[in-house]
A and B are shown apart, each in its own frame.
Chain A
Amino acid sequence: MADAAPFAVGQPVRLSRLVPPGHVRTPWYLRGRTGVIERDLGITGDPEALAYGRTDAPCLRLYRVRFDMGTIWGEAAEHARDRLDAEIFENWLEPVDAP
C-alpha cells in the first residue's frame, strides 16, 4: 500500500465515511467530503497504529488535501470560496469516481 503513490497532486479525492474506534487522526467534519490533493508529504508512520504500540504496522503515504468551505459546510458556509487544507493518510482517501 505504501510503495507507489496512489494519488497525484490535483487529483480529486473523497474521504471515507468510516467511524472506526481508536486514535483516529481524520477529523469528523471532513469525512465523506471531496477535495483535491494539494501535495504529497511522503511516507510516514501510521499514528492510528502507533498509538497502540503496533510499531510493525505498514507506513502510509500522507497527503495534504484541499477543500472548499462550501463543499465542507454547504449552505452553512461562512464564505463558500474560502479554503481548508488538512493532512489525510492514504487509507482514508478514495478516488471520486469510485463506486
Chain B
Amino acid sequence: MKRRQFIHAATAAVLIPVTVMSSPAALGSLRRKWDYVFFDERFDQAHRVATSWSTLNRPIGVRGDITPFWSSGLDRLAREQPLHLRGLTTDSFQFCLRILLVEHANLDARVSRSDPNLISWIMHTTPKMLNMDQPHV
C-alpha cells in the first residue's frame, strides 16, 4: 500500500475498537505527537509510514518481540504516566504490548490490519492505582 493510501486508510473509520472506553476519539488522537512510535524494521513499508508520524522520540525499530522494550523501561513508564503510543508492527508485538499494558494501565486501543504482515495500532494509557501490580516480599 502506498503511503498516502495507508494514511487515508488509518484515518478513515476502519479502526477496530479493541477496548472501548471513555477516551479521546481516534481521529483526534491521530493528530497528536506520540510518545513512542514502533515499526517493524523487517518491512520497508512500516519504516516509511512510521517515520512520517509525529513523535516526541525517535521511531523505534522492532522485530516482532516486545520483550526488550518492555523490560527496559516501558513497564515502569506505563505504571507512572499516561502514554500515547502508535505502531505499525506484526501481530505478536501488538498483541503482547496490549496484554502487558492492560495489567498496568487503563487502555484504549484501536487496531486495524494493514496487510497480511502488519497491524496499524494506537494505544492510549492512563496508570491504574499504584498498589495493583507491585510484587513485594
Tell whether A pairs with B.
no
Residues on A lying within 8 angstroms of B by beta carbon are none
